[in-house]
Amino acid sequence: MIIKRYIVNSMNEAMTRIRYELGKDAVIISQRKIRKPGFMGLFSKKILEVTAAVENVKKGDEQVVDSIEAIKKAVESVKVEEKKVEEQKDEAKAVQNSEELLREMQDMKSLISEMMSKPQDKTPRRTKLQVKLEESDINEKLVKKLLTKVKAVEGEEDELQKAKAAIEKLISVSKAKMQGAVVLVGPTGVGKTTTIAKLAGRLSLLEKKTVGLITIDTYRIGAVEQLKTYADIMNIPFRVVFSMKEMETAMEAMKDCDVVLIDTTGRSCKNTMQISELRAFVDKVNTDNIHLVISSTTKNRDVTSIIEGYRPLNYNNVIITKLDETSTYGSVLNILDAAKKPLSFITTGQNVPDDIKAISAAEVSSLILGEDNIC
């Protein structure tokens, strides 16, 4: 007897193959619906397993051997089938496990995002005043200092008024007179020359003082045309000095001027050589009217290195420029607090001689707190 198993899509297909392979005498001994073996079989439609048998036409021993072989094969195929069913069960289990894992991960994910979106209760809430001070770009250290001061003040007035008073107390303005030699030092491009031109214009045109201009240009950069042009327009004496000797002669030549404004070329505050060279010139001038010029647009982080880098020049005033280029004025406070020197002027634009003024501590405070602005 020959027994053979067929995996087919339909009974028709089974019949055709059985007829062809086993002949017309073959009989179907079993049929059942199964799924395709393998992982993908789980998701496909069922197929048919048909087992058919036919009497062997061979005779004698041969027939016996064939029958035994056929039975062995049938047993084997049943075993294989059972193994496949077991494997399918395992795969189904694995799928179920990974689905569970996925669900757990999704739960965790939504839990985390829920936690992230909730306000962190541990960090103390920022008060309105703190937000205002921080938004004006006052540095962290000063914001803390101001908040402590505001808290310490007793009285009815609101926090903003207390803060305004506290800021005012931190600011000192200069009473320096524009008399004798006045030196401007500071980083490149902050507006030293423009400020000198503005001062020269005001002093000579409005205050009717006699003014002299000197530029210290040890590097012979030739960046003196700018000031020379202003000097020519205002009809005031102008000298460029390249050496200590020339410095002496220039000062001597202008000794009758009410004010001698001395411009310097920008130096890197990190280059101590350049700074000490400049110091020699400034010492020669022998004045206590030295102004550090610094821009209000200077990054907080750079303020300290500029303030400290120019310290050897013994500046005793600070001029803050380009207030028209910023919308927050906290940097004014940062600069003055770091320098511990009074503010002599602020500049508010490129127009010579208009865009310069001396400003009171109360006005600076109003600017910082947004009660006033420059433009």
Q: How far is the CB of 216 from ligand GTP (least distance, A)?
A: 11
Kindly state the DSSP code that residue 324 receives in the 8-state scheme.
G
Give CA–CA dist 203/292, Å, rounded.
19
349 makes contact with ligand GTP (CB under 6 A):
yes
348 makes contact with ligand GTP (CB under 6 A):
yes
By CB under 5 A, name the one of 130, 193, 296, 321 that touches Mg ion: 193
By CB under 6 A, name the one of 132, 164, 192, 291 that touches ligand GTP: 192
Q: How far is the CB of 180 from ligand GTP (least distance, A)?
A: 22
CA angle (128, 132, 138) in 5-degree steps: 140
CA angle (97, 98, 101) in 5-degree steps: 90
Q: How far is the CB of 361 from Mg ion (least distance, A)?
A: 29
Q: How far is the CB of 330 from Mg ion (least distance, A)?
A: 27
- Give the nearer residue to ligand GTP in terms of CB position, either 186 or 330: 186
355 makes contact with ligand GTP (CB under 6 A):
yes
| Residue 164 interaction partner, one of Mg ion, ligand GTP, none, beta carbon < 5-8 Å per kind | none
Residue 368: name the closest of 133, 127, 130 by CA.
Answer: 133
Q: From the CB of residue 109, how many other CB atoms can be counted at a distance below 10 Å?
A: 10
Give CA–CA dist 373/327, Å, rounded.
8
- Pick the stretch among 10-18, 20-28, 183-191, 251-259 that binds ligand GTP (CB under 6 A): 183-191
Q: From the CB of residue 218, how many other CB atoms can be counted at a distance below 10 Å?
A: 18
223 makes contact with ligand GTP (CB under 6 A):
yes
Q: How far is the CB of 239 from ligand GTP (least distance, A)?
A: 16
227 makes contact with ligand GTP (CB under 6 A):
no
Q: How far is the CB of 118 from ligand GTP (least distance, A)?
A: 45
Q: Which residues pair with 216 in a beta bridge?
A: 241, 264
Cα distances (Å, whole numbers) of residue 269 to 28, 98, 181, 195, 291:
102, 64, 23, 20, 15
Give the footprint of ligand GTP on residues 309-328 (CB under 6 A): 321-322, 324-325
Please give the span between the terminal C-alpha atoms of the chain, in angstroms, as a whole number: 108
Instruction: Catalogue the long-range contacts made by 275-278 (C-beta closer than 8 Å, 24 or more residues apart).
Output: 275/309, 275/310, 275/312, 275/313, 276/312, 277/218, 278/185, 278/216, 278/218, 278/313
266 makes contact with ligand GTP (CB under 6 A):
yes
Q: Which residues pair with 290 in a beta bridge?
A: 183
- Pick the stretch among 121-129, 155-163, 190-198, 237-245 that binds Mg ion (CB under 5 A): 190-198
Give CA–CA dist 338/331, Å, rounded.
10
Q: Which residue's Cβ lies closest to Mg ion?
A: 193
Residue 321: name the closest of 231, 215, 195 by CA.
Answer: 195
* Cβ atoms of residues 5 and 50 within 8 Å: yes
Cα distances (Å, whole numbers) of residue 298 to 9, 120, 246:
81, 34, 34
350 makes contact with ligand GTP (CB under 6 A):
yes
Q: How far is the CB of 138 from ligand GTP (least distance, A)?
A: 21
265 makes contact with ligand GTP (CB under 6 A):
yes
Q: How far is the CB of 267 from ligand GTP (least distance, A)?
A: 8
State which H helix or E strand residue 318 sits in. Answer: strand 317-321
Helices vs strands, H then E, count in the chain? 12, 11
191 makes contact with ligand GTP (CB under 6 A):
yes
194 makes contact with Mg ion (CB under 5 A):
no
188 makes contact with ligand GTP (CB under 6 A):
yes
215 makes contact with ligand GTP (CB under 6 A):
no
- Pick the stretch among 182-190, 202-210, 235-243, 304-312 that binds ligand GTP (CB under 6 A): 182-190
189 makes contact with ligand GTP (CB under 6 A):
yes
Q: How far is the CB of 221 from Mg ion (least distance, A)?
A: 9
Q: How many residues bind ligand GTP (CB under 6 A)?
A: 19
List interacting residues with Mg ion (CB under 5 A). Answer: 192-193
List interacting residues with ligand GTP (CB under 6 A). Answer: 188-194, 223, 265-266, 321-322, 324-325, 347-350, 355
